[in-house]
Amino acid sequence: MRGKALEPTSGTAAADLVGRARAFLAGAGVKPGDRVGLLAPNSARWVAADLAILAEGAVSVPLYARQEARELAEMLKDCGAALLLVADAELEAAVKAAWPEACRTVRFDDLFAANAAATRPPHAIGPADPVTIIYTSGTSGEPKGVVLTRANVDFMLPRTAEALKALTGGRGSEDKVFHFLPFCFAGSRIMLWTQLHRGNPIRLSTDLTKLAEEMGAADPHYYLNVPAVLERIRNGVTEKVRERGGLGFALYNAAQEALRRVRAGRSGIADKLILAVARSMVFSKIKRTIGPSLEFLVCGSAPLAEDTQRWFEMLGVPVYQVYGLTETTAIVTMDRPGAAEPGRVGYALPGCEAKLTDDGELVLRGPNVFSGYWNRPDATAATIRDGWLHTGDQAEVDRNGNWKIVGRLKNLLKPESGHYVAPEPIEDKIRQACEGIDHVLLVGHGRAFLSAIVTGRADEQAVARAVEDVNADLPHYKRVRKFYLSKEAFTVENGLLTANQKMRRQVIEEHFKHALEELYR
């Protein structure tokens, strides 16, 4: 996609790109098992580069193009990359500035300028052989490389393909699929590989500043989402309806109230009449605006607000949630057609086992569970114990096997962007940036952005300057968007600190619940 224009890449053209990239990689001395970094925004050339790495038997290491260059350098060092494929000179310069002795870098223009090699089969990859290393941050903020094997991928793709077949009513390979989330993330990669596995084309966003325009031109049947995007769509539509006012706005509000009464089992004939009229006069028009052909949405990476899920259902667009980790080849649970329940993330995929420990932690087992963290045996042993992957998530399951994620057992935050954020380093930077700050508590798990609760004698302006200074050196998903300056200190006496002066995070969030509601209103 380029704006409203579809710029197709045929199978023949894609195969030619893969052949050119394979020829370059072979000529550069890339050997089976070598790690090759891939740093670029989504494009047909990204897909071709990824497939070329795999076809040569090397291990693809996809990286986020908007990540801090220092973090990218650490990841490349950690995996011992033999080569880094980059989209352009700007990305190349950023990595080299952070890592002067960087591994060899190759721009896409050079990668695909090679003459395509003679047709030869892909290098054989064994079931236990790594195919990709995807980096994710742990509680310390230190990136760890999740190693996924051919066996992991071979297990997952038939199941995701079957799930999509069920959601689309068995339509086959004629889906109009739009995609805008970066392919370097596990969920995006599995969506891409699933569509390739099904022989189905995928319509890529190439300019996120024109996302709405591209989405309209793509007119998809479905696409993969994160909660932040669905919240933005809902809020944008509501604001437009409010601006127009009149009968449409009144009916819009009345229908939402009627739907709440229906779900609560307190509806009457009037409520059903209101909903019928609203569907005809308001909701159908909204549906045409956000996607005339839209059949459903798939959402993952973070908790989705129940009201938002119900709002899309009200329009006639069910939202199917998925849950998983990079360590589980992206997916463990998924909603089923006709059985999606707001607030829950669906049922374990066939072959995936899920259970709760005594303290309510969700643990997992199955062929989708990763082989370990790259060169981190201690971290692997701490995560996989007695054959079960410990997720760190608190969860609940109903008698039908439908799972709900309640929260995190540890401090790691995961806002709606889907990135994991270790709060302690950011809290420490803000505290050091402003004299007079006593405590900083970062919040934002499952929310649209990060905020902070701040205590001490510093005033609003001083705290604002400190937050701004710290944000300047952080990637977008780690920036603190708002803060609440509390006149009440965190003390042992009021129960907000432990005896050894550590912050009681969950207690503090609950204590300041109303202030946080105002920040996120």
Domains contained in the chain, CATH given = 20-125 (3.40.50.980), 423-519 (3.30.300.30)
| DSSP strand pairing (403-408 vs 388-397) | antiparallel
Q: Strands, E, within 444-510: which ranges? A: 450-456, 480-486
* Alpha-carbon distance values, 265 to 261, 268, 295, 376 (Å): 6, 9, 27, 53
DSSP 477: G
Token duo for residue 277: 């009229």
* Alpha-carbon distance values, 488 to 65, 397, 463 (Å): 41, 38, 16
In this prediction, residue 500 carries a pLDDT of 53
Q: Is 404 helix (H, G, I), strand (E, B) or coil?
A: strand
**Which of 64, 100, 58 is CA-nearest to residue 83?**
58
The residues, any chain, with a CB within 8 Å of residue 388's CB and separated by 6 or more, are 355, 363, 364, 365
* Alpha-carbon distance values, 6 to 3, 16, 206, 213, 234 (Å): 8, 20, 11, 12, 26
**Torsion angle of C-alpha atoms 373, 375, 378, 382, degrees rounded to 10:** 0
Q: Return the sign of the alpha-carbon dihedral for residues 22, 26, 29, 32.
A: positive
Does this model's pTM top 0.85? My answer is: no
CA distance 209 to 194: 26
- Secondary structure element (H or E) that encloses residue 385, with its range: strand 384-385
CA distance 293 to 314: 16
Q: Report mean pLDDT in 10-residue bins for the chain, 521 residues.
A: 84 95 96 98 97 97 90 94 97 95 94 85 96 76 88 98 92 90 94 96 88 90 91 88 91 89 85 90 92 95 84 94 96 94 94 93 97 96 96 92 85 86 87 89 94 95 96 94 95 76 86 94 85
321 beta partners: 299
CA distance 446 to 308: 13
CA distance 40 to 33: 22
In this prediction, residue 140 carries a pLDDT of 42
**Which of 482, 446, 443, 489 is CA-nearest to residue 464?**
482
CA distance 454 to 516: 12
Does residue 220 contact residue 294 with C-beta atoms inside 8 Å? yes
In this prediction, residue 170 carries a pLDDT of 85
CA distance 160 to 42: 21
Does residue 363 contact residue 391 with C-beta atoms inside 8 Å? yes
In this prediction, residue 499 carries a pLDDT of 54
Query: For the residues of 259-325, what is the DSSP string, one character each?
Result: HHHHHTT---HHHHHHHHHHIIIIIHHHHHHH-TT---EEE-SSPPPHHHHHHHHHHT--EEEEE--
CA distance 323 to 403: 9
Neighbours of 316 (CB within 10 A): 14
In this prediction, residue 48 carries a pLDDT of 97
**Which of 373, 448, 473, 314 is CA-nearest to residue 138?**
373
What length does the chain have?
Answer: 521
CA atoms lying within 13 Å on the CB side of residue 483: 29
In this prediction, residue 139 carries a pLDDT of 36
Q: Return the sign of the alpha-carbon dihedral for residues 37, 41, 42, 43.
A: negative
